[in-house]
């Protein structure tokens, strides 16, 4: 019994220590301040979600997939931005919309790449004079977290259930206009075709987005809700309803 009590005390102390260390990275926002929510997301992204030695959080590893004898990595989360957020206590859903550049790069000698469920096709077609292929596109990721509220030791926690993710990857196609002509346009289009072929062979939501959004879900669950959401006198955590979206953004 004494050992059990000591273990419980040690766990409680570690939990408080983690909360104290994380507190310095948190920004709390009123439900009417979208600009604040954008800063809140950026702070969480840079100091928690992508890894933090002081919090014993491993660095986030970009998704990579085997491509012939090489790998292809898909990155961009370090530059992701919050473009929409909404919360509805009646449906018990937290919705976040994120926008980011997508860097698709061929990598040699990477031992951490996953095997694709479906083998890549036409690999020889996309060879580029021995040069490693790369391309930059864009992605919009919409995440819906079902949630419940948990009261624990005087604090309310936002417990997020497994998320639903919709990931849309935009791979532009270049044509011979706007100053891009001839060989340059052909080269850009070859890279665009290659990137499109890569995207067609992965599950964007599951492979690229969920490893990141899953970390976001875990972080929220460990933070007292008051450290993220400031209430007006007429508001209560059990009855919040708000929504914001960047102008000219179509989801």
What is the structure's pLDDT at 7?
A: 34
Domains in the chain: boundaries: 7-245
Residue carrying structure tokens 């596109």 = 137
Flag the least confident range among 52-56, 93-97, 184-188, 194-198.
Answer: 184-188
At residue 20, the pLDDT reads 63
9/60 Cα distance (integer angstroms): 30
Residue in 249, 209, 176, 239 with CA at minimum distance from that of residue 102: 209
**How far is residue 25's CA from residue 87's CA, in Å, rounded to a whole number?**
22
Q: Could you tell me which residues come within 8 angstroms of residue 196 by beta carbon, excluding any fewer than 6 positions away?
A: 171
Domain 7-245 has CATH 3.40.50: no
Per-residue pLDDT tens over the stretch 176-221: 455 555 566 777 788 888 899 899 888 999 999 999 999 999 999 8
Q: Give the residue from 23, 32, 35 showing the smallest Cα distance to 232.
A: 32
3-state SS string over the chain? CHHHHHHHHHHHHHHHHHHHHHHCCCCCEECCCHHHHHHHHHHHHHHHHCCEHHHCECCCCCEEEEECCEEEEEECHHHCEEEEEEEECCCCEEEEEEEEEEEEEEECCCCCCECCCCCCCCCHHHCCCCCCCEEEEEEEEEEEEEEEEEEECCEEEEEECCCEEEEEEECCCCCCCCCCCHHHHHHHHHHHHHHHHHHHCCCHHHHHHHHHHHHHHHHHHCCEHHHCEECCCCCCCCCCEEEEECCCCCC
Measure the CA–CA gap between 152 and 215, rounded to whole angstroms.
22
Q: 13 pLDDT band (50/70/90 cuts)?
A: very low
Task: Supply the pTM of this predicted model.
Answer: 0.85
- The least confident of 72-86, 110-124, 157-171, 217-231 is 110-124
For the stretch 106-164, pLDDT in tens is 988 766 788 887 888 777 766 666 678 899 999 999 999 999 999 998 899 999 999 99
Query: With 90 as the cut, is the pLDDT of residue 230 above it?
Result: yes
Report pLDDT for 105.
94
Q: What is the pLDDT of residue 31?
A: 95
Give me the pLDDT at residue 186, please.
74
Better pLDDT: 179 or 69? 69
């Amino acid at each position: 019994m004494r050992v059990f009590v000591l273990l419980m005390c040690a766990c409680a102390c570690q939990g408080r220590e983690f909360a104290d260390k994380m507190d310095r990275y948190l920004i709390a926002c009123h439900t009417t301040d979208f600009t604040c929510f954008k800063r809140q997301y950026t702070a969480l992204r840079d100091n928690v979600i992508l890894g933090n030695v002081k919090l014993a959080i491993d660095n986030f590893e970009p998704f990579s997939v085997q491509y012939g004898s090489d790998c292809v990595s898909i990155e961009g989360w370090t530059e992701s931005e919050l473009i929409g957020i909404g919360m509805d206590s009646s449906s018990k859903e937290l919705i976040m919309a994120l926008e980011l550049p997508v860097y698709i790069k061929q990598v040699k000698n990477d031992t951490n790449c996953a095997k694709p469920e479906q083998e890549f096709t036409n690999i020889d077609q996309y060879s580029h004079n021995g040069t490693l292929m790369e391309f930059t596109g864009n992605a919009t990721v919409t995440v819906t977290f079902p949630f419940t509220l948990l009261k624990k030791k005087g604090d309310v926690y936002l417990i997020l259930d497994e998320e639903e993710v919709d990931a849309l990857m935009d791979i532009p196609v270049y044509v011979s206009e706007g100053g891009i002509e001839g060989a340059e346009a052909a080269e850009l289009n070859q890279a665009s075709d290659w990137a499109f072929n890569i995207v067609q062979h992965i599950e964007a939501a599951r492979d690229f987005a969920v490893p990141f959004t899953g970390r976001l879900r875990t972080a929220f669950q460990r933070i007292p809700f008051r450290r993220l959401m400031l209430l007006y006198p007429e508001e209560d955590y059990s009855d919040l309803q708000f929504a914001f979206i960047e102008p000219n953004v179509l989801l």
